[in-house]
Amino acid sequence: MDYEYWGLVFRHISPYMWASLGCALAIGLSVAGAAWGIFLTGSSLVGAAVKAPRITSKNLISVIFCEAAAIYGVITAIILQTKVEDVPIGSDGEWSVKILKAGYAVFGSGLCVGLSNLVCGICVGIVGSSCALADAQNSTLFVKILVIEIFGSALGLFGVIVAIIISGMERNTRHVSFSLLLQNSFC
């Protein structure tokens, strides 16, 4: 594999494209995770409500937790979009390294929050589905399973926190090499 060629390709792709793709992934994957979770929770909730109609209103909290994953993605995309500024291309026709790093940082942040919220939405949907079915059988299990659902929803918040850290690193990467960062993180 010719790594020099791929480096050349990535250096000539606009950092605005990377930043825009990161914002799109943050929203798109987060909404997909929320939709998948709502599908899983909602179908079990409606099915279990046939046997025990009392669970319908109280188990809607599971749908709200799924929707939170989409909201995390939208908030992160708004934060990331504020980091995009108009910067001219260099006199040599290439982007500066600092601008490329900033574009990659916004892309990585969007990918991070999008994937974490995709998994978060699915996790909350599966646990919410189990919560609805268990609550239909035994109402004392609702709070116990709701605690597990809260832990699943925290995965999305972790993704948002990591994305904010990644997007903030683009300002501080001038004197830090990637290999040094890896060495210090595993010590």
Q: Write out the DSSP string of 115-157.
A: HHHHHHHHHHHHHHHHHHHHHHH-GGGHHHHHHHHHHHHHHHH
pLDDT of res. 28: 97
Q: Please tell me whether residue 162 adopts helix, strand or coil conformation.
A: helix
* Residue range 53-76, pLDDT digits in tens: 888 888 899 999 999 999 999 999
Percent of the chain scoring above 70 in pLDDT: 90
Mean pLDDT of 163-173: 75
CB of 122 closer than 8 Å to CB of 36: yes
Q: What is the dihedral of CA 98, 99, 101, 103, to 10 degrees?
A: 170
Higher pLDDT, 93 or 137: 137
pLDDT of res. 39: 96
Confidence band of 119 (pLDDT split at 50, 70, 90): very high
pLDDT of res. 175: 41
**Chain-wide mean pLDDT for the chain?**
86
CA distance 162 to 112: 7
**Residue 173 in this model has a pLDDT that exceeds 60:** no
CA distance 62 to 41: 7
* Residue range 3-56, pLDDT digits in tens: 888 888 877 888 889 999 999 999 999 999 999 999 999 999 999 889 888 888
Mean pLDDT of 68-97: 86
**Confidence (pTM):** 0.84
Burial of 49 (0-12, 13-18, 19+ CB in 10 A): middle
Higher pLDDT, 22 or 96: 22
pLDDT of res. 107: 93
